[in-house]
Structure 1
Amino acid sequence: MANIVQFENVGLRYGHGEETLSDVSFTLAGGAFYFLTGASGAGKTSLLKLLYLAQRPTRGAIRLFGEDAVTLPRGRLPGFRRRIGVVFQDFRLVPHLSSFDNIALPLRVSGVPEGDIEAPVREMLAWVGLEGKADARPPTLSGGEQQRVAIARAVIGRPEILVADEPTGNVDPDMAERLLHLFESLNRLGTTVVVATHDFHLLGRIPDAHMMRLDKGRLHDPTGSLRHPASGR
């Protein structure tokens, strides 16, 4: 599988403090599944921000889809970001919009004709098990339901990469496993999936997943060899 992401000696510093990320190097292969692990404060969210182009590195090189992402002109950022789906830790749903309209939002922003929106949004609602919640607004949904709306919104545009930041942190174990199965299903369709988590109980659920571990801003077990989460092979 071709590499679609490459980080080389990437460093990230906020303000004048110490580096949040130091000398981070790894590659992501198209169509693979990755777990990014590490304790709270290890730098997982910062690394993901670099990956979905919400932040530029202080130093180092990042190549995304074969192009230099560090020097990418600002005008080209929206096009690149549409190729990356993001599930945020705090969901970031629009509270006054229905589940249907939250999921449809990326399509409308991209200029998809209104007549072409109904079918894919209904498909996504069914995919995440929320067919009966199309008209419900986020404040009336449970945490797990809100998370599933956020996932459907992230993947409605069929992204080449899906990035999920602690997607199971606000749900019970049964829902966490269900969400993970949704990511696995998307991965089987060819999307590269990166799930950041500190929940080590999930790591054995995807036998072929690659593992990356952050510790105090430095990457250990950089991707390059396949490691089984349970055995460490």
Structure 2
Amino acid sequence: MANIVHFEQVGLRYGTGAETLSDVSFTLAKGGFYFLTGASGAGKTSLLRLLYLAQRPTRGRIGLFGEDAGALPRRSLPALRRRIGVVFQDFRLVPHLSAYDNVALPLRLAGVRESAIDAPVREMLEWVGLSARATAKPPTLSGGEQQRIAIARAVIARPELLVADEPTGNVDPEMADRLLHLFEALHRLGTTVVMATHDLHLIGRIPQAHRMRVEKGRLVDPTGALLHPPGQA
């Protein structure tokens, strides 16, 4: 499979403090499924922010869809971001839009005609169990319901890369399994999935998935050995 993401000796520093991420190198294959694990504060969310272009690295190189993301002018980034679906830990729904319109937003931004939007949006709302809440606005939804709307919005346009930060953290185990099946179905259609999670039960449900772990700002394998120690390829 072709590679869709390539990190080469990437470092990230906020302000003048110590590096949050150090010497991070890895490659993600197109169509792969990856779980990202690690303790709170290890650097998982920072790594995801680099993946979906919310943050630029302090050093190193990030290749995305065959482009050198760090060398691209800012005007080129929105088009690249539209190829990425993101499930944020804090949802980031548009509060004045209904659940339906939040899910439809990526399709409208992509220029899909209105007549072609209704069926996929209603199908997605049915999948996440919120058909009856289509007209509700985010402030009236529970945390779990907002999470499901955020997931529906992230996957509605079948992105090439899906980045999900603890996407099942606010739902019950039955719904978590259902959402994982949704991610797996998207993966089978060719989407590369990167999912940060603490839930070891979910990790065991996708036997073909790869597991990456972040520990103190470095990427390590499940046994704790550095995948790419400094000075090695």
SS of the residue aligned with 1:70? helix
Matches within 5 A, 1:100-115: 100-115=100-115
Unaligned runs of 5+ in 2: 223-233
Deviation at 1:112, TM superposition (A): 2.7
Deviation at 1:141, TM superposition (A): 2.4
Deviation at 1:178, TM superposition (A): 2.1
Matches within 5 A, 1:1-233: 1-221=1-221
Aligned residues: 222
Please say which of residues 91-100 and 8-17 is displaced more in the overlay: 91-100
1:93-138 deviation per Cα after TM superposition (whole angstroms, max 9, x unaligned): 1222111101111222233332332222122222323222211222
Give the whole-Å Cα distance in 2 for the aligned partners of 1:120 and 1:171.
Answer: 23
Give the whole-Å Cα distance in 2 for the aligned partners of 1:122 and 1:134.
Answer: 8
Deviation at 1:4, TM superposition (A): 0.6
**1:226 corresponds to which residue?**
none
SS of the residue aligned with 1:25? strand
The AA in structure 1 aligned to 2:127 is: W
CA contact (8 A) 1:100 1:121 kept: yes
Deviation at 1:84, TM superposition (A): 0.3
Deviation at 1:163, TM superposition (A): 0.3
Give the whole-Å Cα distance in 1 for the aligned partners of 2:136 and 2:168.
Answer: 22
RMSD, matched Cα: 1.4
Deviation at 1:173, TM superposition (A): 2.4
Unaligned runs of 5+ in 1: 223-233
Give the whole-Å Cα distance in 1 for the aligned partners of 2:103 and 2:127.
Answer: 12
Aligned residues with identical type, % of pairs = 80
Give the whole-Å Cα distance in 2 for the aligned partners of 1:35 and 1:79.
Answer: 26
Give the whole-Å Cα distance in 1 for the aligned partners of 2:180 and 2:113.
Answer: 31
1:28-59 deviation per Cα after TM superposition (whole angstroms, max 9, x unaligned): 01111000000000000000000000100000
Give the whole-Å Cα distance in 2 for the aligned partners of 1:142 and 1:184.
Answer: 25
Give the whole-Å Cα distance in 1 for the aligned partners of 2:185 and 2:149.
Answer: 16
Give the whole-Å Cα distance in 2 for the aligned partners of 1:175 and 1:127.
Answer: 10
Deviation at 1:70, TM superposition (A): 0.7
The AA in structure 2 aligned to 1:30 is: K
